[in-house]
Copies of this chain bind each other. A is one copy, B any other.
Amino acid sequence: MTDRVQGTDPSLKPQVLIIGGGFGGLWATRALASAPVDITLIDRTNHHLFQPLLYQVATAGLSAPDIAAPLRHILRSQRNVTVLMGEVTGIDVSKQLVMIGNEPLRYDYLIVAAGATHAYFGNDAWQQHAPGLKTLEDAFGIRARMLAAFEAAERTDDPIARARHLRFAVIGGGPTGVELAGTLAEIARHTLPREFRRADPRRAEIHLIEAGPRVLASMPESLSESACRQLTKLGVQVHTGTPVTVIDADGLMLGPNRIEASTVLWAAGVAASPLGASLPAERDRAGRVKVDPDLSVPGHPNVFVIGDLASIQCDGKPVPGVAPAAKQMGRHVAARIRQMLAGKSDRPAFRYVDFGNLATIGRLAAVVDLRGVRFAGASAWLFWLFAHLFFLIGFRNRLVVLINWAISYLTYQRAARVIIGTPKPDPIKNPA
């Protein structure tokens, strides 16, 4: 097959269709800015989300617009791109069509960057009791649940119910779980105490539960230990090596032990977007599409899968589902498309450059691993802060976020403690 579809209007530029405006899709779009193509970028939302700070929206530190900017605003000056908000319902690689609702859209090159969602490992009933954190809606739901639990603790006279409302469990000891647990502990210990009259937020228990042997398993062992120490110092109870077997409206079973908790959060597993199943390719256990070394779908050199949806090894190790990998993949496939447009037929492999790994835990608490240079605590936290501010898209967001953080830092207060919408039924409708 050739790089262009036969029989189309020759005046038309090659059509590049990009599904998903996350790090992978957005970086691919930008890297094609000066290419002689027409790009259509489709996302189901109207915004690019800076996912590394999503836990800050969930824990009431930041507002949604601080970490989300409209895709069409980000790309306003790139004249070869049309942004569409819509839901992709199917992909037909034989006809080179993508369905947006009932409307077909033809492509010459397709980049699928549809990302991942939560996975409950077959226990889908757990979803309603233990929400995960992937979208802004998820973040608002978690924020409302967490704040409503403290409200319910203040409202009830029953000491057992109050203790349950003040008990929080975070399942999953990866970066998101560590961030959520650490921040929850800070809110309970430092932000809220003076504001309650009947309940004492300082008596809140925060449980971080990891089925594997240690938190932050992708980090070197010494940093896992440091993270565990920093969490314990903040007041988080860390449980490792025991899987959760039951989650219900009032808590969970951790091996043989019951933890009664109104608020259970899920940070344990992700599954690739179901859109991967529309492609004629093998998928791994997490549903990610197994791509060729150049990130194309086997047998379809004009169809690429990037970001969290792609399953690929690099130097014998799987490429992790992190923002820098998605950005690098986006730039790689943009370069591939330019080469194909120029008639080059070699297919250079994607190479992931790992600049390091960092995770934040709380105020002045973090761990950093820069290819062997490891540090923890206050210096790691400052490094994390500036790295994230630097990468946050848009000057305005960066400035407002910096001010919010500066004030948070000085006062321990959190700017966005607003319950919007109706929180999930459990803690609020049954105040007892």
A51: Cβ under 8 A from any B Cβ = no
Question: Could you tell me the distance in whole angstroms from the C-beta of A92 to the nearest C-beta in chain B?
Answer: 20
- B396 and A415 contact, CB distance less than 8 A: yes
- B47 and A418 contact, CB distance less than 8 A: yes
Q: Which residues of B contact A5 (CB under 8 A)?
A: none
A101: Cβ under 8 A from any B Cβ = yes
Q: Which residues of B contact A84 (CB under 8 A)?
A: 151, 154-155
Q: Which residues of B contact A407 (CB under 8 A)?
A: 396
Q: Which residues of B contact A154 (CB under 8 A)?
A: 82-85
Q: Which residues of B contact A418 (CB under 8 A)?
A: 46-47, 64-65, 68-70, 136
- B85 and A417 contact, CB distance less than 8 A: no
Can you name the residue of chain B whose Cβ is closest to the Cβ of A156? B103
- A415 and B65 contact, CB distance less than 8 A: yes
Can you name the residue of chain B whose Cβ is closest to the Cβ of A191? B73
A95: Cβ under 8 A from any B Cβ = no
- A195 and B73 contact, CB distance less than 8 A: yes
A75 to B64, CA, bound (A): 25
- A415 and B400 contact, CB distance less than 8 A: yes
Q: Which residues of B contact A66 (CB under 8 A)?
A: 63
Contact residues, A118-157 vs B (CB, 8 A): 136-137, 140, 147-148, 151, 154-155
A258: Cβ under 8 A from any B Cβ = no
What 0/1 readout, one digit per residue, does chain A (417-432) give for beta carbons within 8 Å of chain B? 1111100000000010
What 0/1 readout, one digit per residue, does chain A (168-203) give for beta carbons within 8 Å of chain B? 000000000000000000000000001111100000
- Assuming the contacts A76-B194, A86-B431, asked whether A420 and B101 have C-beta atoms less than 8 A apart, the reply is no
Q: Which residues of B contact A404 (CB under 8 A)?
A: 396, 400
Contact residues, A295-321 vs B (CB, 8 A): none
Q: Which residues of B contact A46 (CB under 8 A)?
A: 147-148, 151, 417-419
Q: Which residues of B contact A151 (CB under 8 A)?
A: 46, 84-85
- A65 and B403 contact, CB distance less than 8 A: no
Contact residues, A229-276 vs B (CB, 8 A): none
A387: Cβ under 8 A from any B Cβ = no
Residues of A within 8 A of B (CB): 45-47, 63-66, 68-70, 72-73, 75-77, 81-86, 100-101, 103, 136-137, 140, 147-148, 151, 154-155, 194-198, 396-397, 399-400, 403-404, 407, 413, 415-421, 431
What are 12 A-B contacts defined by CB distance under 8 Å? A46-B419, A63-B65, A76-B194, A81-B197, A82-B154, A82-B198, A83-B197, A85-B154, A86-B431, A136-B418, A400-B400, A421-B421
